[in-house]
Structure 1
Amino acid sequence: MPQGYVSLVLHAHLPFVRHPEYETFLEEDWLYEAITETYIPLISMMDGLLHDGIDFRLTMSMTPPLCAMLRDPLLQERYIRELHKLIELTEKEIDRTRHGEAHIYHEVAWFYHHRLKHCRHVFCDQYHRDLVSAFRKFQDAGKLEIITCGATHGFLPLMMEYPQAVRAQVMVARDSYRECFGRDPRGIWLPECAYVPGVEKFLQEAEIRWFLLDSHGVMFAEPRPRYGIFAPLFTKAGPAAFGRDVESSKQVWSSQEGYPGDAHYRDFYRDVGYDLDFDYIKNYIQPNGLRKFTGLKYHRITGKTSFKEVYHPQIARERAADHAGNFMFNREKQVEHLHGLMGTEPIIIAPYDAELYGHWWFEGPDFLNFFFRKAACDQKTFATITPSEYLQAYPTQQLAQPAASSWGNKGYWEVWLEESNAWIYPHLHVAAQRMIDLARDYKDCYGLADRAMKQAARELLLAQSSDWAFIMKTGTMVPYAVKRTKDHILRFTRLHDQIRAGQIDERFLANCEWRDNIFPNIHWRHYC
């Protein structure tokens, strides 16, 4: 029997970005990049582990907006179009780097060519464009636990004045999960790990058994947790809270002290979309001529200067294997120490953004692959486990009230509520109250009014996405985040006014349904 357990939890989320009104749209690249660099590599990793008979456990949230985009035929078609363009670019690059000074990049050009063709094979031939079903396969095999999140990643503590809005975020997410995975979710990644007492009662209503908190959300619980962050706490409402382990997180999260900063790993910022001559690269960047990342990056981190040496994928892969071994060793020693202190089997919760693995840290999926193989074959101190399995094996845990908390700078919610984004909340709060009032006053409506109520709920949920406030704070793509917030609030307000007046503009409604088609079967009466 192992002395303890390690639970890796990946948070796979992107905001809902879909613009059928444009032939191409830059922000849709967020999804295409994540598919190529994170989701397909994770699928291929798990396929390999299954094929080789490696016993592993991984937990992964797949948020409703991400699932909706992955299942959307328009975005699937556009992804294939982008993939074909990149494969064409690699063919040109293989020819360009065949001779002369550029020959030093020839090997890595071939590497990208083979990698992108593999992505096309997995996406088109192996899983027939349906990556949600790919992840579902691993859950059905008992190796992956897929958990849910808020319906649109809404920041729940800042909605608590309007409990029905919090309820809708949870219940709509549960409904979406049922449609995608054919069962109810057992766990939830609270958006931004943001928690305030009272959230758990909505989780209990949805029959969600556990949720994750940042370390201080558990450590500052009342009464003080006997085992710290190394055992879950049951709330009075029922769902259990698991706390993030600081040590294992830092080793991977930190670009300065953690593994991703290794000099041999791929440099994220050097990209042929910016490095190559405009006339050569113009067909592979934005149609307006502005440059963008293509994903073809030929340099390694090297050091903290602007000078970058050529990237060698095989050397980087060997470093990932070394780091996986080091991570395993550290978890062994940590588990041994904790088991001696606690007198029982600890669980080490190691949560990360899924896009860290592959997109930001290109070698991240290789690291995970090596870790799972080494953990299964090279040691007996700990086993990988999902939080649901841990609760099943250890059903008796301390009862306590977790503390209000989130992750992000300083550990509370000032990232999502400060001078750059505070202006959005009065509008969101008014819209939430109006939606609640509509649901109460028109609960028996049908036909065109029912369609309008569904779309009003969609627009409110999309406006509530915490991604927009986060983007405003970090200063990236701010005009887009501002526009998305305003557009959804304006569309919601217009629909609200039309419903109240009994004069619904069906043409406007149809246009909204065409643009914002998330949650086709949304149950707006969750706001009642």
Structure 2
Amino acid sequence: MTDEGTFCLVLHSHLPWLPHHGAWPVGEEWLYQACAHSYLPVVDLVRRLAERGHRDVLTLGVTPVLAAQLDDPYALRGLHDWLGNWALRAQYAAGRWRGADPLLREVASAEYRAATGAIEEFETRWRHGFSPVLRELVDGGAIELLGGPATHPFQPLLREPVRRFALRAGLDDTRLRTGHTPAGIWAPECGYAPGMEHGYAAAGVRRFLVDGPALHGDTHAARPVGDSGVLCFGRDLEVTYRVWSPKAGYPGDPAYRDFHTFDHPTGLKPSRVTGKQVPPESKRPYEPELAAGAVARHAADFVATVLARLRALRERHGAPGLVVAAYDTELFGHWWHEGPAWLAAVLDALPGAGVRVTTLRGAIEAGHVGAPVELPASSWGSGKDWRVWDGEQVSDLVSAGAALQDELLALPAGPGDVRDPARDQLVREALLALSSDWAFMVTKDSAADYARRRAKIHGDRAGELAGLLRSGQHERARRRAAELRATDGPFGRLDARELWS
């Protein structure tokens, strides 16, 4: 078979900490939708490929804050209820659309089949949480698992001790859940500041992802960062943007299901995109056969795009090249209903076209490592700089975050031989307040009020606990910490002693 080069698909699974923090259109509904429509079908796709003997299918990042939610009994009960409600809504839609367009009746039937299938999948494989499912795929070599800092902070804005602690806590949490400490991470928002690679090396991180412009588009191989020995992989935007870009991509095709158009009595999405300028009330009903044709067409187009890119890289560098296409997992199924079917078609077609499909680890083993590089400050956000997380719109969040870190680090170290639940809760609240999600949602005006409220809730809680500890009210601080744990649920592995050690 022709060696056209290597393709790595990298998926990043992340949602902010949501249990006990509201329902649709923000809060827990996000978690349940993403799990039902993305995580269950994407993981099922990988499992089926593994059963057929495939290895190194893709590289999957799961942030610790998401893993904690998908293992949390509260969230699992809520998801099970949500899946049951989805089936009920589909049954209601069947009655509501009786006598209507046959295409609408087919939507109701398809939704019911999908809901009952998801319930069976959950009850069979997911009822004890995501980690057992994930561990089986990692143990079997089907995926390479990426980790990251505990609560998805924008790392360049963290004080060095806080950054070090957040990364170590996240890696340790992943090891406890899956039995594996990731050797690679998808850095939150691909945020990078010069020198961070040395912190990665000290934590045992051997590879991480940056956006293509940080490498000036030269993404044909992994690159050692300075003299650290840590490798960076760059997203190939020429290929990645074919699927999803700030302005275009396959999901906008008129045949695909429209994410934004709801039938509000049922909560279902019965329309296809139809046209970008078509108002919701004029959208045409969804047609599965039409969508299936678009999936086949777009899968073929993507494979051709990857081949063209790899051949251009071979001509330029004189050797087989590497393409890294990286996306949020939630694109496949949640935002883009047909995304899992498209993924299956692409992963099936690429090897037949002579392309090696593997993980970031597999790409290194295949020799796709280039010369050392010095990286600039960067991210994958607007402008490929830090403006989304450090811009004028969020200057108040940035200032509050900096003050909170200073207050945290100014506390004297507690007894080193005994864990203090008040300090553990304080660190937990501080890291949740520092999540990059809040600035992103404000800058992009996506539930901005909710994001500001969440940042303030966690920041105020951290400040309250810090004040009690600072004034010597340790017993009162422990009681308050217990109240917060009881109302907001458990989260991951955070041993605060390590911050001051």
TM range (shorter): over 0.9
Amino acid at match of 1:483: R
What secondary structure, in the 3-state scheme, does the structure 2 residue paired with 1:355 have? Answer: helix
Structure 1, gaps ≥5 residues long: 221-227, 282-293
Q: What CA distance in whole angstroms lies between the structure 2 residues aligned with 1:97 and 1:215?
A: 47
**Among 273, 289, 294, which residue is 1:301 paired with?**
273
Conserved? CA contact 1:96–1:102, under 8 Å = no
Against the structure 1 CA distance between its residues 477 and 257, is the aligned structure 2 distance closer, same or farther, given a 3 Å change threshold?
A: closer
- Equivalent of residue 490 in structure 1, options 460, 476, 481: 460
Q: Is the 8 A contact 2:256 2:291 kept in 1?
A: yes
Contact kept? 1:216, 1:403, Cα under 8 Å: no
Question: For 1:116 and 1:255, how far apart are their aligned partners in 2?
Answer: 31
| Maintained 8 Å contact 1:18/1:515 | no
**Counterpart residue type for residue 187 of structure 2:** L
1:149–1:183 CA distance, 2 compared to 1 (3 A): same
Taking the aligned partners of 1:177 and 1:434, their CA distance within structure 2 comes to: 28
- Aligned partners of 1:498, 1:94: CA distance in 2, in Å? 57
Q: Which residue of 2 aligns with 1:527?
A: 499
The equivalent of 1:216 in structure 2 is 213
What corresponds to 1:183 in structure 2? 180
- Is it true that 1:10 corresponds to 2:15 in the alignment? no
Aligned in 2, Cα 1:519/1:104: closer, same or farther, shift over 3 Å? Answer: closer
Amino acid at match of 2:96: R
Residues 518, 166 of structure 1: CA spacing in aligned structure 2 closer, same or farther, 3 A cutoff?
Answer: farther
3-state SS of the aligned residue for 2:392?
coil
Q: Is 1:500 matched with 2:480?
A: no
Q: Deviations over 1:214-258 (max 9, x none)?
A: 1121228xxxxxxx2111111222211111111111101137542
Alpha-carbon separation, structure 2, partners of 1:511 and 1:44: 38
What TM-score comes out, normalization by structure 1 length? 0.89
Q: What's the offset of the Cα at 1:95?
A: 2.3
Partner Cα separation in structure 1 for residue 488 and residue 370 of structure 2: 43
Shift of 1:26: 4.7
Alpha-carbon distance in 2 for matches of 1:55, 1:320: 24
- The amino acid across from 1:43 in the alignment is V
Counterpart in 2 of 1:474?
A: 444
Work out the CA distance in 2 between the residues paired with 1:141 and 1:357: 23
Opposite residue 67 of structure 1, the aligned amino acid is A
In the alignment, does 2:219 pair up with 1:229? yes
Q: Which amino acid is 1:6 matched to?
A: F
CA distance in 1, matches of 2:67, 2:54: 27
Match of 2:434 in 1: 464
Superposition map of 1:57-96 within 5 A? 57-96=57-96
TM-score (norm 2): 0.94
The 10-residue stretch of structure 1 (393-402 or 481-490) with the greater mean CA deviation from structure 2: 393-402
Deviations 1:3-31 (A, max 9, x none): 310111111100001118x7999511010
Secondary structure of 2:243's counterpart equals helix
The one-character-per-residue Cα deviations of 1:265-323 (angstroms, maximum 9, x if unpaired) are 001111122xx4xxxx5xxxxxxxxxxxx3x2111011121121110123312321221
Q: What letter matches 1:495 in structure 2?
A: L
Q: How does 1:59-208 map to 2 (within 5 A)?
A: 59-99=59-99, 101-159=100-158, 162-208=159-205
1:421-432 matched pairs, under 5 angstroms? 421-432=394-405
CA separation in 1, counterparts of 2:165 and 2:102? 56
Offset of residue 515 of structure 1? 3.4
Percent identical residues: 31
Which amino acid in the other structure matches residue 335 of structure 2? W
The residue aligned with 2:255 is 264
Specify the alignment match of 2:340 in structure 1.
365
1:516 CA drift (Å) = 4.1
Matched residue of 1:335: which SS? Answer: helix
**1:399 matched to 2:352:** no
CA distance in 2, matches of 1:389, 1:301: 38
2:389 alignment partner, SS class: coil
CA distance in 1, matches of 2:313, 2:65: 38
Cα distance change of structure 1 residues 453 and 77 upon mapping to structure 2, 3 Å threshold: same
Once the 2 structures are TM-superposed, how far is the Cα of residue 127 of structure 1 from its aligned partner?
Answer: 3.2
Instruction: Kindly indicate whether the alpha-carbon contact (under 8 Å) linking 2:8 and 2:363 is maintained by their aligned counterparts in 1.
Output: no
Q: Which amino acid aligns with 1:105?
A: L
With over 3 angstroms needed to count, the CA separation of the structure-2 counterparts of 1:396 and 1:55, relative to structure 1, is closer
Match of 2:418 among 426, 446, 453: 446
Match of 2:235? 244
2:299 to 306, 324, 331: 324
Cα offset, 1:426, TM superposition: 2.0
Please point out which of 233, 244, 251 is paired with 1:253: 244
- Amino acid of the structure 2 residue aligned with 1:72: D
Alignment match, 2:483: 511
Shift of 1:428: 1.4
Counterpart contact for 1:123–1:131, Cα < 8 Å: no
Check if 1:355 corresponds to 2:330: yes
Q: What's the offset of the Cα at 1:526?
A: 3.1
Asked if structure 2 preserves the Cα contact closer than 8 Å seen for 1:459 and 1:516, the reply is: no
Q: Which amino acid aligns with 2:170?
A: A
Query: How far 1:406 moved relative to its partner?
Result: 0.7
Q: Secondary structure at the match of 1:421?
A: helix
Name the Cα RMSD after superposition.
Answer: 2.0
Measured after TM superposition, the shift of residue 121 of structure 1 is 0.6
SS in structure 1 at match of 2:59: strand
Quote the Cα distance in structure 2 between the aligned partners of 1:78 and 1:508. Answer: 26
Query: 1:446-483 CA distances to partner (integer Å, 9 max, x unpaired)?
Result: 36xx1111111101100000000111112222221111
